[in-house]
Amino acid sequence: MPKSQKAENKDPIFYNSLEESEKAAWSLFESGVTDRKSYFHTPIVISKSLAGSLKPRTMVLRKVIKEALELQFHTDTRSNKVEEIVENNLGAIIVYDMTTKVQLRIEAKFKILEDSSVIGERWSNMKNMSKECYAVSVAPGTELQDPERLEFMDSGEDNFTILSAKVLKMEWLYLCYKGNRRASFDYRLGKSVKSWLVP
């Protein structure tokens, strides 16, 4: 995973390498799944509303399947984003890590997973505190008179699902006092097409 290089006064291994930059990008996402202090633990996920406006939201990254170019997040089936994604499954993900000076912008195809065995296994491995979020009796975004008076169902399992983001294209930006590096990794042709970009 990339680390701050200024103090060491040497170039990171990815500085002039497209291959290493791509590896570093995926490594940041993979470590973000378990590292709660990582900026990659909570990227900004952007979908479109039914009216066509952009809907950015911070989401917790739950799983990375690199070989499938997939990032996964947990969500509530009653959330507006679920209906939005059914209507328009193209969106974006962006994250900037102030520690490593790396920004990643992703074009993605979203889908709501329908595999009940995968969803059930993920639910069974969740902590009770996390499960409680899905047991609220009304949908996320519902107007409240008193936030202290939420009602809960016995279980929120039926409200739990997984949002999958298939990475179509990823843009890498590394900010460095010696000179910034920007690159594109395009997966839309079924392989990684790598190229440097003007920062």
**What are the pLDDT digits (tens) for 5-53?**
444 568 899 999 999 999 999 999 999 999 999 999 999 999 999 988 9
Instruction: Specify the pLDDT at position 3.
Output: 58
Strand partners, 91: 108
Domains of the chain: 18-136+158-197 (2.30.110.10)
**CA torsion 41→160→67→100, rounded to 10°?**
-10
Neighbours of 69 (CB within 10 A): 19
Q: Taking the model in full, what pTM does it have?
A: 0.90
Question: What one-letter code names the amino acid at 59?
Answer: M
Instruction: Specify the pLDDT at position 185.
Output: 98
The pLDDT of 156-181, averaged and rounded, is 96
Instruction: Specify the pLDDT at position 149.
Output: 83
